Amino acid sequence: MKSGYKILWSEQALTDLQNILDYLTENWTQRELKNFSQRLDKRINLIRHYPNLFPSSSTKKSIRRSVLTKHTTIYYQVQTQTLKIVTLFDTRQNPKKLKFK
C-alpha cells in the first residue's frame, strides 16, 4: 500500500476547523474536544490512504464528502499527489451556504 497522499488544507477548511475548536473549547469539556480531535485525525488518515472510499458530492462530482459527526462533514478533493481538504461544513447550516472554491 502507498504511504498515502499529502494533505493540504484550504484557508476555508482551516477557518472552519478553528471555529469548531473554539466552539468546543467554550461549550464542551476537554474530553469532547479531545474526542473530536482524535476522530478528525483518524478520518483524515483514512482519507489519506483510501481517498475514493467516500462518495462524491451531489453538487460537484470532483469533491468527495465524509460525514465525521452528525454536525460536521469533511469535503475534500483528490488531486494528483495531494488531497485538499476544502471545507469542514456544519450540517446544521442551510445547505445553500455550502460553496466550493
Could you tell me the pTM of the whole model?
0.89
Report the CATH number at residue 40.
3.30.2310.20
> Do the domain assignments include residue 99?
no
Beta strands, E only, the chain: 6-9, 63-69, 72-78, 82-90
Q: Identify the three-state secondary structure at position 88.
A: strand
> Do the domain assignments include residue 100?
no
Q: What is the pLDDT of residues 58-78, one digit of tens each?
A: 888 899 999 999 999 999 999
> Do the domain assignments include residue 59?
yes
25: containing domain: 6-92
> Do the domain assignments include residue 15?
yes
> Do the domain assignments include residue 78?
yes
> Do the domain assignments include residue 101?
no
Domain count, the chain: 1
Q: What is the pLDDT of residues 6-63, one digit of tens each?
A: 999 999 999 999 999 999 999 999 999 999 999 999 999 999 999 999 999 888 889 9
